[in-house]
Amino acid sequence: MKSKEVLEYAKAKKIKVVDIRFMDFPGIWQHFSVPISELNEDSFEDGFGFDASSIRGWQPIDASDMLVIPDPLTAKIDPFFEAPTLVLIGNIADPLTRRPYSRDPRYIAKKAEMYLKSSGIGDTAYIGPEAEFFIFNDIRFHSSTNQAYYKVDSVEGAWNTGREEFPNLGYKPRHREGYFPVPPLDKFQDMRTEMMLTLEKLGIDVECQHHEVATGGQAEIDMRFKPLLEMGDQMIWFKYILKNIANKHEHTVTFMPKPLFGDNGSGMHTHISIWKKGVPLFAGNNYAGLSAAALYGIGGILKHCKALCAITNPTTNSYKRLVPGFEAPINLAYSSRNRSAAVRIPMYSDAAKAKRIEFRTPDPSCNGYMAFSAILMAVLDGIENKIDPGEPLDKNIYDLPPEELKNVPLAPGSLEEALSALKEDNEFLLKGDVFTKDVINKWIEYKMANEVEPVKLRPHPYEFMLYYDI
């Protein structure tokens, strides 16, 4: 919709409130609301002022004034608010220069799409994320000078088979046996369906929903692939919808990659393909039906994967998932069908339009705008520089003998290691000014100061198990 059409739409739907939203640097949606009387055609050019010094990773207090300019193409009606509310996602700009703000994640995604077009390689990057998540009944956590703990619970948890539930009816998925069971073992079918249908009401196409491998309510809802910026917008709506529907049912959803010990974590296998003038560029006559461009794109991902992980797996908890076993895609190799490789080529269809790369390492804690952009930039770097991905690895990687396995590089083992890799390997992200030096430096600085160092400073509860009597 254009700005005038948004105003007409708001009038037709009897909208009373306009909610302006944008994403902060780490990846959490922020918002403020104005009465509908405050929205006019000028609003889509003049924007609304706010204090950017209070947004994580953004402006200092002496340069705090910024603008959020609503994008009329993003208009949707919020499905949860009591008063009829129109949601508009905004772009961030400097109030003096009117230039877009380099640390606005949505602007990074817009520049990634512009760079793709300017490269001449293609005009559209389609992104299809498979974001896994957990639905819990209860979550408690605390950390202070003399104590630290967390406790999650689920009516589905395998650990609750002996709990008094007045009555306990059993039917709790065993560890790593939660993939596709029907009710009553699957207790969240109706809730996931409500999530799926709410997404569809908002115009977000969904392919399927199902229980995932882990016990304790792990789930997955897959959105149909969309252009990069559009998928960035959809990804944040996705998290918002799922969290609020769970909350309505007195449950809680988390996209934390590894909330449970000894069971599968939540990944976000991300599919990417590049098209030009309606023609898919990744179909060809090479390995697994891929084109040379697709193989070079895989080469780009594998070459830059350690640095990518700082953006696609951006939490200290991300690396509790990226360990050997549990199908964890830590091995920097590619394969058709093999789910233990970092890059997989799905083989469900031979159709040219279905040919794509599946990057399996990312997880859903990431900032979608930035993660999708970084993946695209790695793919483009591979194509531009004809980076050879090497030979495919069509074996069960975890059954390889040590002499073979030592030749397979690994994803980073910690967020600190990933950030160090990003510090050394970021030139591919700087092309077209998609990511700037300021963005990369601030990302590393923020993550080290606010996440890596605080976690390193605190005793871990399990250390008391290991060392208290030493």
The Cα 52–Cα 19 span in angstroms is 17
Q: Are 94 and 355 in contact (CB under 8 A)?
A: no
Q: Are 338 and 344 in contact (CB under 8 A)?
A: yes
Residue type, 84: P
Which of 110, 106, 107, 104 is CA-nearest to residue 58? 104
Question: Beta-carbon neighbour count of residue 38 at 10 Å?
Answer: 12
What tokens were used for 369?
A: 């705008």
Can you point out the beta strands (E) in 154-266? 206-211, 218-223, 226-227, 252-254
Burial of residue 455 (CB within 10 Å: 0-12, 13-18, 19+) is middle
Q: Are 281 and 293 in contact (CB under 8 A)?
A: yes
The Cα 345–Cα 358 span in angstroms is 6
Torsion angle of alpha carbons 195, 198, 199, 201, nearest 10°? 160
Torsion angle of alpha carbons 69, 4, 233, 384, nearest 10°? -80
Q: Which residues are catalytic?
A: 51, 130, 132, 212, 220, 269, 339, 358, 360
Can you point out the beta strands (E) in 282-356? 331-336, 341-345
What tokens were used for 149?
A: 């703990």
Which of 181, 167, 190, 245 is CA-nearest to residue 215? 181
Question: Beta-carbon neighbour count of residue 82 at 10 Å?
Answer: 8
- Secondary structure tally for the chain: helices H, strands E: 14, 18
Quick one: DSSP state of residue 100?
Answer: B
The Cα 243–Cα 251 span in angstroms is 9
First to last CA, the chain: 67
Q: What angle do CA 290, 292, 293 make, to 5 degrees?
A: 95
The Cα 228–Cα 105 span in angstroms is 12
